[in-house]
Amino acid sequence: MSSPPRVPALDLRAQYATIRGEVRAAVDRVFENQAFILGEEVEALERELAAFCEVRFAITCGSGSDALLLALMALDIGPGDEVICPAFTFFATAGAVARLGARPVFVDIDPATYDLDPAATRAAAARCTRLRAILPVHLYGRAADQGALLALAEERRVPLVEDAAQAIGARDASGRRIGGRGRVACFSFYPTKNLGGAGEGGFLSTDDAALAERLRRLRVHGSSRRYAHEELGINSRLDALQAVVLRVKLRHLDAWNAARCRHAAAYDEAFARAGARPSTVSLAAGGLPLRTPAPVAAPAAHVYHQYVIRVPAALRDPLREHLAARGVGSDVYYPLGLHLQPCFAALGHREGDLPETDRAAREVVALPIYAELSDAQREHVVASVLDFVTR
Ligand SMILES: Cc1ncc(COP(=O)(O)O)c(C=O)c1O
């Protein structure tokens, strides 16, 4: 009998094997040119990213974290201002707000979608006296409820700044690609992302020409002409080496995202056949102790940066150990809400303030999902999960 396949949580080597020739030729081009920072390759990437995201402007920068910081700087957000964001996200979302002296106003998530809960957002906005932006996160590659959040942002006359680090290529309920509905959206090229570089990188997208120009200035120390600094900026430039690698990968991104969706549909179907229900049904409702991601209806489109299931908190670590013993990688995004991080202690939050965030932090498990996953690997993941939750 053949031994079961190993299934790492992510396998970037498998991806590289499919593009090795293209990447090497592109990297050679940079060394032949010896132009390493910004320049023509970066500009070409920016045009291609704008076309991909269906926006007028894409501005690259040093990381997704910098993209968030630059977006808030370009909107003049500073000390004493309030920015609504979720706590169930990567640190950078709220880190950028606090870095500028503004206050992250943490709002709970919708437990089914992991996005800002629109009703809770509205209630929090009503309590804010210096609300300056609403910052949803398209977590796991699924678009937030943009319609409700945009309506609220318009009512309050504040910009919607999207943390789209995990969602390149996703479409919201209007059918539009993530990146153009808010005032500005922030993306990451962290190597594990759906479009990942060979190091740090990020970009911003916007349809606003004046904002795009300001972002381009802020990323080079606030300078639009050499040695003239109109304002204080930061150094956050993309390398040409990153740009050429990303240009190669961008050509494959639609196909890779489609493959992720096929794997997600196959996971959904296999788990549903065994009795799992979608995460729109709380685990407290009983039945098989397994919930699959909430379905997304066209024209919205998920890009499954992560395929995240939920199991009762007490089962999560044992499930992960069971999977590891069978060669299946898994991960937890995120084990602690940002409202409970030590660096935000001054905000005075306690466990229970954001109950859905706290519950998700205890229950979520990300399973392997990437374009190169084979059917045999995926079936081994399914069998390994099911023999744990059905026993
Ligand atoms: C939701 C979210 N926001 C922001 C970031 C920050 O991006 P980076 O790691 O490129 O700084 C990431 C990724 O790491 C992320 O997942």
The percentage of the chain sitting over the pLDDT mark of 90, rounded to a whole number, equals 97
Give the end-to-end CA distance of the chain in Å, rounded to a whole number: 24
Looking from the CA of residue 66, the nearest atom of ligand 1 is 11
Expressed in angstroms and rounded, the spacing between residue 274 Cα and the centre of ligand 1 is 34
Helices 355-363 and 313-325, interaxial angle, to 10°?
Answer: 30
The model's pLDDT over 348-369, given as tens digits with 9 standing for 90+, comes to 999 999 999 999 999 999 999 9
Is residue 344 predicted with pLDDT exceeding 70? yes
145 confidence band (pLDDT: 50, 70, 90): confident
Of 390, 388, 175, 385, the C-alpha closest to 266 is 385
Query: Does residue 176 fall inside a structural domain?
Result: yes
Q: What's the pLDDT score for residue 387? A: 96
Give 99-102's long-range contacts (Cβ < 8 A, gap of 24+). Answer: 99/69, 100/69, 100/72, 100/73, 102/72, 102/77, 102/78, 102/132
Indicate which CATH number applies to the domain containing 268. Answer: 3.90.1150.10
Q: What average pLDDT does the segment 220-241 reach?
A: 96
Q: What's the pLDDT score for residue 167? A: 98
Q: Verify that 163 and 126 share a domain, yes or no.
A: yes
The model's pLDDT over 109-129, given as tens digits with 9 standing for 90+, comes to 999 889 999 999 999 999 999
Q: Verify that 135 and 209 share a domain, yes or no.
A: yes
Expressed in angstroms and rounded, the spacing between residue 4 Cα and the centre of ligand 1 is 33
Is residue 264 predicted with pLDDT exceeding 90? yes
Is residue 1 predicted with pLDDT exceeding 70? no
Expressed in angstroms and rounded, the spacing between residue 201 Cα and the centre of ligand 1 is 10
Expressed in angstroms and rounded, the spacing between residue 390 Cα and the centre of ligand 1 is 35
Question: Tokens 């970037």, residue?
Answer: 12
236 touches ligand 1 (CB under 6 Å): no
For the chain, what is the mean pLDDT? 96
Q: Which residues contact 378 (CB under 8 A, 6 or more apart)?
A: 7, 263, 266, 267, 368
Query: Does residue 1 fall inside a structural domain?
Result: no
Whole-structure pTM value: 0.97
Is residue 2 predicted with pLDDT exceeding 80? no
Q: Whose CA is nearest to atom 8 of ligand 1?
A: 64
Going by their DSSP bridges, the two strands 277-278 and 228-229 should be labelled as unpaired
Q: What's the pLDDT score for residue 3? A: 82
Q: What average pLDDT does the segment 199-206 reach?
A: 98
Q: What average pLDDT does the segment 302-312 reach?
A: 98
114 touches ligand 1 (CB under 6 Å): no
Going by their DSSP bridges, the two strands 277-278 and 291-292 should be labelled as parallel
Query: Does residue 3 fall inside a structural domain?
Result: no
Q: Verify that 20 and 84 share a domain, yes or no.
A: yes
Query: Does residue 2 fall inside a structural domain?
Result: no
Q: Verify that 298 and 379 share a domain, yes or no.
A: yes
Q: Verify that 260 and 220 share a domain, yes or no.
A: no
Residue 88 domain boundaries = 12-247
Indicate which CATH number applies to the domain containing 70. Answer: 3.40.640.10
CB of 299 closer than 8 Å to CB of 306: no
